[in-house]
Amino acid sequence: NIDVCLSPELIHQYELKGKIVVVVDILRATSCMVSGLATGVAAIKPLADVDICKGLKQEGYFTAGERNGSKVEGFDMGNSPFEYMEPHLKGQKVAVTTTNGTLAIEKSKTADQIVIGAFLNLTAVAKYIQQQDKDVVVVCAAWKGKVNLEDSLFAGALVERLAASHQPECDVPRMMVKLYQIEKNDLFTFVKESSHARRLNKLDVFKDIEFCVQEDTFDIVPVLRDGHLVLAG
Ligand code: MLT
């Protein structure tokens, strides 16, 4: 079976034990994680707390901090996928905290496995799940508890890709598939009208949005192991 949790605020309604949770934050946390690990970052440590994250600089991590769409003072990086693909990060570890994405990971910790999903690695995530005989919950990071467009669209895309192996658990997966099917030929036009796209556009990150709605740029699957996101396999 597959289910979709549209906001971390609703997560208590879902049983995650024994299941694969796919955490998604298209704009931009999980798109960043996928981009970084696909282009040579060795490991990414997601943290909900700003100070703990900042402190990891002392342990040799590059630090990435975002709140309300902007880079947090004192961090090496903000939350753009292009920053994660910089050549100087190859072989390095990144510690990251973001408004919603890293919190969604934190709240999913009772799951059997945590997988990081984005449009950028959509097919790779679907294939990874198909190799296992486990139920799936897609956890959308949303925005401060409010349901958003881009994460919901991704949920629909993944449910559609898994139609042959995973039956929708409640009505949300079916609803999201319909939404994705209506919009899938031009995700950018739809997502650029989303509340977070407008929020980020004020911060001049339009090219991030264009990048994050691309499907299957990378053939990798990040999974959480011992507190770090690393490549599955
Ligand atoms: C988050 O985790 O809240 C987002 O990735 C925000 C952002 O776009 O930087």
pLDDT value at position 199? 86
CA distances from 122 to 7, 67, 69, 157, 161 (A): 20, 26, 24, 8, 9
pLDDT digits (tens, 9 = 90+) for 113-168: 999 999 999 999 999 999 999 999 999 999 999 999 999 999 999 999 999 999 99
Residue 198 is predicted with a pLDDT of 84
Is 69 close to ligand 1, i.e. is its CB under 6 Å away? yes
pLDDT in tens, 42-78: 999 999 999 999 999 999 999 999 999 999 999 999 9
27 ligand 1 Cβ < 6 A: yes
133 Cα: distance to centroid of ligand 1 (angstroms): 31
The string of pLDDT tens digits covering residues 200-231 is 888 777 899 999 999 999 999 999 999 999 99
ipTM of the complex: 0.91
Sole residue written with tokens 């969604």: 104
- Could you read off the pLDDT of 172-190 as tens digits, one per residue? 999 999 999 999 999 999 9
Instruction: Tell if the pTM clears 0.95, that is, is over it.
Output: yes
Out of 30, 53, 71, 98, give the residue to mutate to test ligand 1, the one with the largest number of ligand atoms within 8 Å of its CB: 98
Q: What are phi and psi of 162, to 5 degrees?
A: -100, 10
Query: What pLDDT is recorded for position 114?
Result: 98
Cβ proximity of 3 and 170 under 8 Å: yes
Instruction: Give CA separation, 61 vs 37, 54, 164, in Å.
Output: 14, 9, 41
Neighbours of 216 (CB within 10 A): 12
Averaged pLDDT, 100-116: 97
Per the listing, tokens 């934190």 go with: 106
pLDDT at 174: 97
Are 154 and 27 a contacting pair, CB within 8 Å? no
Q: What structural domains and CATH numbers belong to the chain?
A: 2-215 (3.90.1560.10)
